[in-house]
């Protein structure tokens, strides 16, 4: 309901019933869900894990990271096709080199995590992400789609250097009996983005 209400904002504006109604209903459902999960002996999603500050921070950063990824993967092909005038194939292909790079960087980040720990690797990853966002901010109507592709590669390097170390740091912050709930939480928080 929250997503429905928020997606209707661009069509109806903030005050329309098709926006306010679903947002209020979704917020109420979320409150009921949270209260119920906190009071259950065996919750579906153990929200009490968020009391652990390391786990909480890591999940917030995973959530932000996933929001950035989903936004970039949605906006960049549309920008390439609608603004830069590329073909549908090229607008989709803009994401391919970065995605291939992500699969390589994820493996590398695992090895770097073992050597240097999650905080340093995540900091470097977020630095790449920030650099890519600054570079993407310089793209204009006369820019080459290949520059967008190049900047997206920096973004995916940053994503690859942050996601796995953040999830690993969050799991390491939990007790052994909480790890199944933590894994479930990291998937849920990541998918909210």
Q: Are residues 9 and 91 in the same domain?
A: no
Q: What is the DSSP letter of 50?
A: G
**pLDDT tens digits, 140-179:** 899 999 999 999 999 999 999 998 899 888 888 888 777 7
Q: Is residue 44 part of a domain?
A: no
Q: Are residues 75 and 34 in the same domain?
A: no
The total number of structural domains in the chain stands at: 2
Report if pTM > 0.75: yes
The phi and psi torsions of 31 (rounded to 5 degrees) equal: -65, -45
How many angstroms separate the Cα of 153 from the Cα of each of 22, 25, 121?
37, 39, 17
- Close Cβ partners of 141 (under 8 Å, ≥ 6 residues apart): 83, 84
Q: What angle do CA 53, 67, 157 make, to 5 degrees?
A: 90
Q: Is residue 169 part of a domain?
A: yes
Q: Are residues 158 and 98 in the same domain?
A: yes
Instruction: Please give the full DSSP string across 135-187, using - where no structure is assigned.
Output: HHHT--TTS-HHHHHHHHHHHHHHHHHHHHHHHHHHHHTS-GGGHHHHHHHHH
CA atoms of 162 and 61, how far apart (whole Å):
9
Q: Are residues 63 and 35 in the same domain?
A: no
Q: Are residues 107 and 162 in the same domain?
A: yes
Q: Does the pLDDT at position 181 exceed 90?
A: no
**pLDDT tens digits, 9-60:** 988 988 899 999 999 999 999 999 999 988 888 888 888 888 889 989 999 9
Host domain of residue 15? 2-39
């Amino acid at each position: 309901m929250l997503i429905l209400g928020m997606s209707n904002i661009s069509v109806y504006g903030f005050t329309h019933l098709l926006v306010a109604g679903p947002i209020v209903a979704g917020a109420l459902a979320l409150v009921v869900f949270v209260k119920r999960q906190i009071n259950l002996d065996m919750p579906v999603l153990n929200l009490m894990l968020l009391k652990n500050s390391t786990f909480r921070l890591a999940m917030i950063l995973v959530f932000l990271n996933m929001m950035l990824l989903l936004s970039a993967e949605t906006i960049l092909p549309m920008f390439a096709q609608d603004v830069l005038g590329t073909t549908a194939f090229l607008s989709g292909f803009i994401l391919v080199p970065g995605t291939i790079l992500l699969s390589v960087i994820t493996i590398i980040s695992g090895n770097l995590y073992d050597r240097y720990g999650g905080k340093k690797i995540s900091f470097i990853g977020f630095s790449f992400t920030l650099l890519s966002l600054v570079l993407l901010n310089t793209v204009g109507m006369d820019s080459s789609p290949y520059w967008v592709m190049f900047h997206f590669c920096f973004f995916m390097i940053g994503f690859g250097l942050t996601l796995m170390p953040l999830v690993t740091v969050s799991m390491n912050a939990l007790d052994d009996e909480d790890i199944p709930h933590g894994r479930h939480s990291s998937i849920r928080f990541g998918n909210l983005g």
